[in-house]
Amino acid sequence: MRILFWAALVLLLTSCGDNDNNQAQGDNAASQQVYKWKLVTSWPKNYPGLGTAPENFAKKVEAMSNGRLKIKVFGAGQLVPALQVFDAVSQGTAQIGHSGAYYWTGKNKATAFFTSIPFGLNAQEMNAWLHYGGGLELWRELYAPFNLVPFAGGSTGVQMAGWFNREINSMADIKGLKMRIPGLGGDVITRAGGESVNIPGGELYTAMQTGVIDATEWVGPYNDLAFGFHQVAKYYYYPGWHEPGPTLEFTVNKPALESLPADLQAIIETAARAVNQDMLDEYTARNNTALEELVNVHGVEVRKLPDEVIQGLRKLSAEAISELTKDNEFAQRVAQSIAEFKRQATAYHGISEEAFYKARQQ
């Protein structure tokens, strides 16, 4: 009996050792596996800011993973058209995409809220709402039926109102205006009697040059200079009432994300957060010098939208948001979350950010 007992014990310990060894070998194999992903974007390849952000993301992921996750970036039209990024990632044609949520209002109108709301949150506030105010949880709930996991993917800061080939002196001047402007801003222009169209960035110069559209908003001086809009438009208006805190997105195919080891999933999240902040830093710096070049070198006439127009657009924006949420329960939840966060942020920023800006100018 003693002999049998010790023989069984030795066999058990040997078996456990083999299991532990097999487990270790399995874990080691997983840690050495190389994953190759495709990243599709809505921007021209390596376009300043918008296009370089996904490139930076891919480089950071590869470096942090020690080469275990390699991501190849495709510009708009290289693998899929600019405005088919959502579907491509949802269907698994690519594992990850970089674009703007307001392009997907055909899926659910609430997507527009996760880019920007007219007269809404600025970039600093948008980031805070997403990461500490419940916004990201709502965003992921919205995208879950499409097999997508969204991450904030950068911001350009407050944009310009756009380039126009007619003067805007009153709300009447918007009637009949054909303007490239997506999202809720486009709804507002339509309500004002204009016509909003959604054209990919790479086609805007020609559209303005040929008169297909009378006006376009794009981003701000940094990107607008790169596209050469000053060559095909007369007037450059501000402020960007329609996109005060435009947030871009990384969308990741959920099954692809879940197939990664935990450390690579964490690297995806960390790289997205880094690029999200880096883009805002870049635009804050580059817009300054680009605006000086547009004005001092190219003679661009920068104009402020009249107060009457701002007030009219604000009124129509409230109407557009109210109508959007009327029959969309999820949009109601998102709008209420943003409204409450905006109320709090406005109260504090009145005595912090805004008060400081005024003090600095005195």
Cα 174 to its chain centre, rounded Å, is 27
Q: What is the pLDDT of residue 10?
A: 45
Q: What is the pLDDT of residue 259?
A: 98
Q: What is the pLDDT of residue 97?
A: 98
pLDDT digits (tens, 9 = 90+) for 157-176: 999 999 999 999 999 999 99
Say if 34-156+245-284 and 162-244+299-361 have the same CATH topology: yes
Q: What is the pLDDT of residue 8?
A: 52
Q: Would you list the domain boundaries of the chain?
A: 34-156+245-284, 162-244+299-361
Mean pLDDT, to the nearest integer, of 209-214?
Answer: 97
In the predicted structure, residue 5 carries a pLDDT above the cut 90: no
Mean pLDDT, to the nearest integer, of 219-248?
Answer: 97
Looking at domain 34-156+245-284, does it have CATH number 3.40.190.170?
A: yes
In the predicted structure, residue 15 carries a pLDDT above the cut 70: no
- Alpha helices, DSSP H, located in 33-71: 52-64
pLDDT digits (tens, 9 = 90+) for 99-156: 999 999 999 999 999 999 999 999 999 999 999 999 999 999 999 999 999 999 999 9
The architecture in CATH of the region 162-244+299-361 reads 3-Layer(aba) Sandwich (3.40)
Report the b/e string of 294-325 with b at 16+ CB within 10 A. Answer: beeeeebeebebeeebeebbeebbeebbeebb
pLDDT digits (tens, 9 = 90+) for 332-342: 999 999 999 99
Mean pLDDT score of the chain? 93
Mean pLDDT, to the nearest integer, of 280-299?
Answer: 97
Cβ atoms of 248 and 153 within 8 Å: the answer is yes
| Residue 90 in tokens | 């949802």
pLDDT digits (tens, 9 = 90+) for 28-41: 555 689 999 999 99
